[in-house]
């Protein structure tokens, strides 16, 4: 075991609690009981990484396996990095201070594309060669998983293999394979273990695939060059969440983190079918946890952490079929302990003021809704399935019960958008203000309008669609800004340049690895933080790599074009996505297959998995 960071260094950084380790609930296994070690690496600061539920789940699952020790490491902020480089210190784990290069595996979470340079930075600080092909027999295997794994190609040069899909089962299988390989004396060395990993369903080893390109720069083929590597890597899915353990004694941080509360996952998946939404396509189908199980987990989490708030999390928590009785039961049980229950956001079309009142009985705050688009035409284009009447009914009910603040989330730059559609956002925000005056008899409602820029993502119906260029995004942002110069309306938006680089890497290929390396070598890190992002640096790196940002981000793609990521399969069929894209052009809606007919995406059939809806199951059981 190595020493954690010395006090003279911790005293020179802004937030030393990020690096001290030893938090309540952290797990340190003795060396003599450990066969395989893995550093769970989050490529952002501690406060962000500690808020990520997937990290907590894997930490719990892996440390439950005999002979496996999972530890955590986060990206050091720039002040600590400067100290480490000046003193020649290596990046180590929170639990033991063990350097990254001394682990069996270093596993990164790919939450967003703008964290990629932090991955390179952490590898370098941890004493690990950046390029996979340069790692020797003594080096750890660098692995990665998470939502961005559905296009892993920009990171193909740096990652030994990727975990595709949900990790609870496949990670245990991987650890078992490593223990067996080590007991056998590591036959065949590093390459042999990569071959064994490739034989596990859901694992992608990029070095086992050759990519060829057409004269126009598009991908011609992605073919396996190892007999154990499958032509398509299908995602792993947990068919029933009751079969996997959930962490009820998570680590409690010393300092404040972004989501400083209990996170209780009520279900996975979403079949609403919003056409811009990557998560809604790749995490299908919906699988709910039974209400009785959730109540037991909540009780254990409160007892083990001391938190006074439980956040019920999912892609669309308001769609949980047993939500109202679950919230009622949780509040009844926990009200004497002053523990509140919260929801990330509320759906406009399923809003219940009674539910909102119950949720906010302990701590009242503003309400958050996500109409996504201002005009009904654009909401039909993106298959949002909500109307202005839905929103007005929701805010009217809330205002009658005393709420005075509403936050609305929108996107601009959506396919087919016109200036009228952009200005409709402002009109909708003003309509909400007017509704308050109509209900309460006076003005005073605070409306926050938060606007992001559309970025096309793999495995969405809009993967064929280019995004607006910077000038167009900025023009629309300013158009909306002028229209929202109204008292008590707050307008929030981000600089367009980060969206462009996100778009480049979201739909990029493995040739971008060189640009990523060049940008990092010139100082790129924490690109998701505006104070550290340099658009000029990225433009130079992309250009010097012989690439064109518009080829990746702005270009519309043809119906038959082979995408760089299509050998990675979430089981959503290409034909379904193309049909949804064509329906968007006709402004046609597709119903939620969870409550209607099958929409033909192919996931349930391809993966042999079923939708789990406990309200419907209980109804069927009662009738039977």
pLDDT digits (tens, 9 = 90+) for 460-492: 999 999 999 999 999 999 999 999 999 999 999
In a domain, 609, yes or no: no
- Could you say which DSSP state residue 490 is in? E
Structure tokens at 513: 């690895």
In a domain, 317, yes or no: no
Quote the CA–CA distance of 98 and 75 in Å, as a whole number: 15
Number of H helices, E strands in the chain: 22, 19
In a domain, 374, yes or no: no
pLDDT for 362 equals 55
Q: What is the C-alpha radius of gyration for the chain, rounded to an integer number of angstroms? A: 24
pLDDT for 150 equals 98
In a domain, 208, yes or no: yes
Instruction: Residue 500: name the closest of 538, 460, 464, 541 by CA.
Output: 538
pLDDT digits (tens, 9 = 90+) for 128-171: 999 999 999 999 999 999 999 999 999 999 999 999 999 999 99
Instruction: Residue 63: name the closest of 101, 117, 25 by CA.
Output: 25
- CB atoms under 10 Å from CB of 574, counted, come to 14
Q: To the nearest whole number, what is the mean pLDDT of the chain?
A: 94
Instruction: Indicate whether 202 pLDDT > 90.
Output: yes
In a domain, 124, yes or no: yes
- Per-residue burial over 592-612, b = 16 or more CB atoms within 10 Å of its CB, e = otherwise: bbbeeeebebbbbebbebebb
Instruction: Indicate whether 436 pLDDT > 90.
Output: yes
pLDDT for 1 equals 39
Structure tokens at 341: 């229950």
- The neighbouring-strand residues paired with 341 are 310
Please tell me the total count of domains within the chain. Answer: 1
pLDDT for 361 equals 63
Q: 131 lies in which domain range?
A: 7-234
What secondary structure does DSSP assign to 104-152, as a single string? Answer: SEEEEE---GGGHHHHHHHHHHTT--SSGGG--TTSPEEEEESGGGGS-
The predicted model scores a pTM of: 0.95
pLDDT for 47 equals 96
pLDDT digits (tens, 9 = 90+) for 243-278: 999 999 999 999 889 999 999 999 999 999 999 999
Quote the CA–CA distance of 421 and 483 in Å, as a whole number: 12
To 5 degrees, how large is the angle CA 139–CA 143–CA 144? Answer: 150
Reduced to 3 states (helix: H, G, I; strand: E, B; else coil), residue 230 is coil
Return the percentage of the chain with pLDDT > 90, whole number.
87
Quote the CA–CA distance of 96 and 91 in Å, as a whole number: 11
Which CATH number does the domain housing residue 91 bear? 3.40.50.280
Element of type H or E holding 281: helix 278-282
Instruction: Indicate whether 363 pLDDT > 80.
Output: no
In a domain, 213, yes or no: yes
Tell me how far the alpha carbon of residue 145 is from its chain's centroid: 10
In a domain, 398, yes or no: no
In a domain, 41, yes or no: yes
Contact assessment for residue 250 and residue 25, using Cβ atoms and an 8 Å cutoff = yes
- The neighbouring-strand residues paired with 39 are 71, 106
Distances (CA, A) of 513 to 135, 455, 458, 541, 545: 17, 20, 18, 10, 9
Instruction: Indicate whether 294 pLDDT > 60.
Output: yes
Quote the CA–CA distance of 392 and 398 in Å, as a whole number: 10
- CB atoms under 10 Å from CB of 115, counted, come to 23
């Amino acid at each position: 075991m190595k020493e954690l960071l010395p006090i003279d260094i911790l005293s020179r950084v802004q937030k030393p609690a990020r690096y001290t380790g030893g938090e309540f609930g952290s797990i340190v296994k003795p060396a003599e009981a450990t066969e395989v070690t893995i550093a769970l690496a989050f490529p952002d600061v501690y406060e962000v990484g500690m808020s990520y539920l997937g990290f907590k789940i894997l930490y719990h699952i892996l440390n439950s396996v005999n002979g496996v020790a999972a530890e955590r490491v986060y990206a050091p902020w720039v002040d600590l990095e400067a100290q480490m480089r000046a003193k020649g210190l290596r990046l180590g784990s929170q639990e033991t201070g063990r350097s990254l290069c001394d682990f069996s595996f270093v596993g990164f979470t790919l939450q967003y594309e703008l964290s990629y340079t932090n991955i390179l930075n952490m590898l370098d600080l941890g004493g690990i060669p950046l390029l996979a092909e340069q790692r020797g027999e003594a080096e750890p295997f660098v692995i990665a998983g998470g939502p961005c794994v559905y296009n892993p190609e920009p990171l193909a040069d740096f990652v030994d293999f990727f975990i595709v899909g949900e990790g609870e089962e496949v990670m245990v299988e991987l650890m078992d394979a490593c223990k067996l390989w080590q007991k056998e004396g590591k036959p065949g060395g590093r390459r042999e273990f990569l071959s064994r990993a490739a034989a596990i369903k859901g694992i992608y080893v990029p070095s086992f695939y050759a990519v060829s390109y057409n004269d126009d720069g598009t991908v011609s083929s992605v073919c396996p060059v190892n007999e154990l590597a499958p032509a398509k890597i299908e995602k792993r899915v947990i068919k029933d969440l009751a079969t996997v353990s959930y962490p009820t004694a998570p680590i409690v941080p010393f300092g404040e983190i972004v989501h400083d509360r209990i996170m209780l996952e009520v279900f996975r998946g979403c079949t609403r079918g919003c056409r811009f939404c990557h998560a809604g396509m790749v995490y299908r189908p919906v699988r709910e946890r039974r209400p009785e199980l959730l109540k037991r987990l909540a009780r254990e989490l409160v007892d083990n952490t001391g938190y006074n708030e439980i956040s019920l999390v999912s892609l669309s928590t308001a769609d949980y079929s047993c939500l109202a009785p679950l919230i009622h039961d949780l509040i009844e049980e926990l009200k004497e302990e002053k523990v509140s229950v919260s929801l990330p956001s509320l759906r406009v079309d399923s809003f219940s003021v009674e539910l909102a009142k119950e949720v906010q009985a302990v701590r009242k705050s503003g309400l958050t809704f996500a109409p996504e688009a201002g005009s009904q035409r654009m909401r039909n284009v993106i298959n949002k399935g909500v109307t202005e009447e839905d929103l007005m009914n929701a805010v009217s009910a809330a205002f009658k019960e005393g709420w005075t603040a509403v936050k609305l989330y929108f996107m601009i730059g959506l396919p087919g958008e016109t200036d009228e559609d952009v200005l409709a956002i402002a009109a909708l925000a003003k309509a909400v203000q007017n509704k308050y005056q109509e209900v309460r008899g006076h003005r005073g409602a605070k409306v926050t309008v938060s606007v992001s820029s559309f970025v096309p993502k793999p495995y969405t119906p809009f993967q064929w669609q280019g995004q607006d260029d910077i000038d167009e995004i900025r023009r629309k942002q300013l158009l909306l800004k002028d229209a929202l110069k109204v008292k008590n309306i707050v307008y929030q938006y981000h600089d367009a340049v980060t969206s462009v680089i996100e778009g480049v890497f979201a739909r990029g290929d493995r040739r971008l690895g060189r640009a990523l390396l060049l940008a990092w070598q010139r100082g790129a890190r924490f690109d998701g933080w505006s104070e550290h992002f340099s658009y000029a640096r990225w433009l130079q790196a992309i250009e010097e790599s012989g690439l064109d940002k518009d080829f990746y981000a702005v270009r519309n793609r043809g119906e038959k074009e082979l995408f760089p990521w299509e050998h990675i399969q979430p089981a959503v069929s290409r034909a379904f996505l193309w049909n949804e894209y064509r329906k968007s052009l006709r402004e046609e809606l597709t119903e939620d297959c969870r409550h209607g007919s099958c929409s033909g995406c192919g996931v349930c059939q391809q993966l042999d998995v079923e939708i789990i809806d406990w309200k419907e199951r209980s109804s069927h059981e009662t009738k039977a």
